[in-house]
Amino acid sequence: MHARILLALEALQREGALPEGLDFANVEVSPPREAAHGDLASNAALVLAKQAKMKPRDIADRLAEKMKAVPEVAAVEVAGAGFLNLRFHPSFWHGVVAAVLKDGTSFGRADLGKGERINVEFVSANPTGPMHVGHTRGAVFGDALAKLLQFTGYAVTSEYYINDAGAQVDALARSAYLRYREALGEDIGQIPEGLYPGDYVKPVGQALAKEHGSALLNYPEERWLPLVREMAIAAMLAEIKGDLAALNIQHEVFFSERSLTAGTDQVRETIEELRGKGLVFEGRLEKPKGHDDGEWEDREQTLFRSTDFGDDVDRALMKSDGSYTYFAADMAYHRNKLARGFKTLINVFGADHAGYITRMKAAVAALSDGKAALDIKVCQLVKLFRAGEPVRMSKRAGTFVTLREVVDEVGRDPVRFMMLYRKNDAPLDFDMAKVLEQSKDNPVFYVQYAHARAKSVFRNAQAAFPGLTENSPQVLGADLARLDDAGELDLIRRLAAYPVLVQSAARAHEPHRLAFYLYDLASAFHAQWTRGNDSPHLRFIQPEDGSLTAARLALIGAVANVVASGLALLGGMARDEMG
């Protein structure tokens, strides 16, 4: 319809009713917030008034005349300051139902990305233990975003950056070595400060004992550490992959930080490349404020000139012991992504890494000479509740709740849905009791139930009309003109909005919009169902009227289709029955 408006505007130009050389870029066509304003509204006259040096209403009137000639358009009116409101013939809406049924779960698919490659990095939790509930949100968000972008025409690579090179994994290795000695019968006492006390390290120790016997006891640390570390990381990574699988998440690429320096030293290359651009230098930093641990040592160090890109201070690339900082390695990692041909990068961060955004964007701008885009989505904290009571967690006391515990308790689909039922940058309360409630208060149930209810209608229809199934010719070829109730047309309008919504969610990198849409669609469907209580003629199954029943079942089939499609994009499964 947008194209039709542009055509009409061009026609007006040819006729001399509008001046030449207008910029139509800001002309939009969208469903108005207020249903009374019609099915679609355009701001064309408002946008063009100044350029054309005409009154908005004059432009709108001329445009309205043109639009009346468009076949699907039933009515055109000029309203407000100069809005053009369009109304469609019912046949237009009936076509939407047919389109949904024809396209199935690919209804709403788009080609926004035109096949462009895009990299989505998410989770990237340290391989030092199982994932806890805090990681869950970023994991679900990243995965849903990847699916959404895939659905809208991007070639998405989902990626996990393994921090397997720092001091953390050495601490993990030492913890595993202790557990190894324990497995050989030694009393290791308390796990020292700085190491990982969790029980999940025990199996690694046992596996080491099984594989090496007591041989490692006689090795010096520089000999056993790499061995133990490799095994421990592999074990933790397997654990993490299992946790992710429980959420139905599979990254395509697991990228090892260690691999950056394994062959050619890509971190060194990155630093030298930036030095060549004049963006790396030797200098001093001022002591940071708000933190007085007395260990501050003023020294000359290798710095990245991130202040050129809006950062507060330049960032250190080398530690005092001569090794690379985490940031230096991360720069090399992003350089690697760029070298693999990605022009658009998305990183999903936890709230505690928000302070890292500016320097990371600076890095990508510097490395790509401003030609690549990095979008960083920050997921705020999740507060865990059980029946209204906050669940207390302390990492120090080892009482943190793992991702696996939550998934085991409430199930994968509720976790995924609720993690997306908030905008990513707003904090989220997650109540493990509430998501299992079977009531309207629980959005998960409400949406799933809409789908189950639709399926149930089909099952019930069998009594009066055997063979009237979802894919039957009666339903697919139903006389959709029979759909003339206001509630039915409202449902169809919502279905028609799905492709637009999917695209705006993809463009904004905001999958939560989909969750809210599904809730609204489910709500409209339940409302229509309930109207049948008071008004039997609105019930979906009309035993005396097969043609009407077929048309309504077609509508219901279309609703179920879109609910299933939307849930799939969020990473959940539609259910045919509520258990």
Number of residues that bind RNA (CB under 7 A): 101
**Cβ contact 455:418 at 8 Å:** no
Based on CB atoms, which residue is closest to RNA, 216 or 498?
498
The candidate with the shortest Cα–Cα distance to 378, out of 403, 353, 415, 345, is 353
Based on CB atoms, which residue is closest to RNA, 19 or 355?
355
Q: Which of 21, 185, 290, 466 binds RNA (CB under 7 A)?
A: 290
Say whether residue 444 binds RNA (CB under 7 A). no
The shares of helix, strand and coil residues in the chain, as percent rounded to the nearest 5, are 55, 15, 35
Smallest distance from the beta carbon of 238 to RNA, in angstroms? 18
Smallest distance from the beta carbon of 206 to RNA, in angstroms? 26
Q: How far is CA 530 from CA 156, 400, 523, in A?
A: 41, 44, 11
Based on CB atoms, which residue is closest to RNA, 46 or 247?
46
Q: Which of 1, 225, 227, 354 binds RNA (CB under 7 A)?
A: 354
Cα distance between residue 16 and residue 9, in whole Å: 11
Q: Which stretch binds RNA (CB under 7 A): 7-15, 143-151, 176-184, 285-293?
A: 285-293
Q: What is the dihedral of CA 438, 441, 446, 448, to 10 degrees?
A: -60
Q: Which of 355, 370, 390, 477 binds RNA (CB under 7 A)?
A: 355
Token pair of 367 as six digits: 């490395």
Based on CB atoms, which residue is closest to RNA, 80 or 203?
80
Backbone angles phi, psi at 233, to 5 degrees: -60, -45
Q: Which of 312, 408, 479, 484 binds RNA (CB under 7 A)?
A: 312
Q: Which stretch binds RNA (CB under 7 A): 239-247, 319-327, 332-340, 468-476?
A: 319-327
- Biggest CA pair distance of the chain: 94
Q: What is the dihedral of CA 232, 234, 235, 238, to 10 degrees?
A: 160
Say whether residue 32 binds RNA (CB under 7 A). yes
Site for RNA in 511-550 (CB under 7 A): 512-513, 516, 523, 526-527, 529-534, 538-541
**What is the residue-wise DSSP string for 434-491?**
GGG--STT-HHHHHHHHHHHHHHHHHHHHHHSTT--TTSHHHHT--GGG---HHHHHH
Based on CB atoms, which residue is closest to RNA, 56 or 571?
56
Say whether residue 256 binds RNA (CB under 7 A). no
Site for RNA in 560-579 (CB under 7 A): 577-578
Q: Which of 263, 439, 466, 544 binds RNA (CB under 7 A)?
A: 439
Based on CB atoms, which residue is closest to RNA, 135 or 404?
135
Q: Which of 14, 33, 114, 395 binds RNA (CB under 7 A)?
A: 33
Q: Are strands 428-431 and 280-283 parallel, antiparallel or unpaired?
A: unpaired
Cα distance between residue 12 and residue 390, in whole Å: 63
**What is the residue-wise DSSP string for 246-307?**
HTT---SEEEESTHHHHSS-HHHHHHHHHHHTT-EEEE--PPPSS---S------EEEE-GG
Cα distance between residue 414 and residue 422, in whole Å: 13
Based on CB atoms, which residue is closest to RNA, 76 or 231?
76
Site for RNA in 34-73 (CB under 7 A): 34, 36-38, 41, 43, 46-47, 49-50, 56
Smallest distance from the beta carbon of 124 to RNA, in angstroms? 8
Cα distance between residue 131 and residue 212, in whole Å: 28
Based on CB atoms, which residue is closest to RNA, 157 or 424?
424
Say whether residue 80 binds RNA (CB under 7 A). yes
Smallest distance from the beta carbon of 315 to RNA, in angstroms? 7
Based on CB atoms, which residue is closest to RNA, 399 or 504?
504
Instruction: Give the sign of the dihedral formed by CA 328, CA 334, CA 335, CA 337.
Output: positive
Smallest distance from the beta carbon of 408 to RNA, in angstroms? 21
Site for RNA in 471-510 (CB under 7 A): 504, 507-508, 510
Smallest distance from the beta carbon of 551 to RNA, in angstroms? 14
Smallest distance from the beta carbon of 14 to RNA, in angstroms? 24
Based on CB atoms, which residue is closest to RNA, 183 or 511?
511
Q: Per-residue contact track with RNA, 117 to 136, x per CB under 7 A?
A: ---------x----------
How many beta carbons lie within 10 A of that of residue 37, not counting itself?
A: 17
Q: How far is CA 387 from CA 390, 433, 434, 448, in A?
A: 8, 5, 6, 21
Based on CB atoms, which residue is closest to RNA, 34 or 193?
34
Site for RNA in 356-375 (CB under 7 A): 356-358
Based on CB atoms, which residue is closest to RNA, 102 or 284?
284
Count of residues for the chain?
579
Backbone angles phi, psi at 541, to 5 degrees: -95, 120
Backbone angles phi, psi at 312, to 5 degrees: -70, -45
Site for RNA in 391-410 (CB under 7 A): none
Q: Which stretch binds RNA (CB under 7 A): 224-232, 293-301, 338-346, 565-573?
A: 293-301
Based on CB atoms, which residue is closest to RNA, 401 or 505?
505
**Cβ contact 142:122 at 8 Å:** yes
**DSSP run (H or E) holding 79:** strand 73-79
- Judging by beta carbons within 10 Å of its beta carbon (0-12, 13-18, 19+), is residue 44 exposed, middle or buried? buried
Cα distance between residue 154 and residue 40, in whole Å: 28
Q: Which of 13, 259, 380, 472 binds RNA (CB under 7 A)?
A: 380
Say whether residue 462 binds RNA (CB under 7 A). no
Q: Which of 91, 214, 250, 460 binds RNA (CB under 7 A)?
A: 460
Based on CB atoms, which residue is closest to RNA, 27 or 366?
27
Site for RNA in 185-244 (CB under 7 A): none
Smallest distance from the beta carbon of 532 to RNA, in angstroms? 3
Smallest distance from the beta carbon of 552 to RNA, in angstroms? 8
